Amino acid sequence: MAHRRIQTDAAPNAIGSYSQAIQTGETVYLSGQVPLDPASMKVVDGPIERQIERVFENLKAVAEAAGGSLADIAKLTVYLTDLGHFPHVNEVMARYFEEPFPARAAIGVAALPLGVPVEIDAVLVLDAS
């Protein structure tokens, strides 16, 4: 089965040897997004909530480029350098998702690219009809 590369200028360009997302059949694997502004390619300033919002906006842009939406996300993996920020993830997620919420894992890590506090990747499943 061939893989289809998903690319959009509405999300940050890949910084390295990876794609924003890859589609295989009806499943789309979204690479981790960090709080980079796609226009400036700089990390957004401000509180953690603003950074988490930017991450979800980036994921939303890639999901839409794949022909889906955030509602099609089946699984999220959240990486945090401070698990104390987990309540902020829940708060922001509630603004971007409705029931049934995607499955999710949260992982505490020592560091993330560009020194950011949060990265989120996703698995999206497109409607076969």
Domain-wise residue ranges, the chain: 4-125
Per-residue pLDDT tens digits for 71-113: 999 999 999 999 999 999 999 999 999 999 999 999 999 999 9
Q: What is the CATH number of domain 4-125?
A: 3.30.1330.40
Write out the E strands in 1-129. Answer: 4-6, 21-24, 27-33, 73-80, 103-108, 118-125
Question: Following DSSP, what letter does each residue of 86-118 receive, concatenated?
Answer: HHHHHHHHHHH--SSPPEEEEEE-S--GGG-SE
The residue with tokens 């300033």 is 45
pTM for the structure as a whole = 0.95
Q: Are 119 and 108 in contact (CB under 8 A)?
A: no
Residue 15 confidence class, pLDDT cut points 50, 70, 90: confident
How do beta strands 103-108 and 73-80 pair? parallel
Residue 128 pLDDT: 63
> Which pair of tokens denotes residue 60?
């939303």
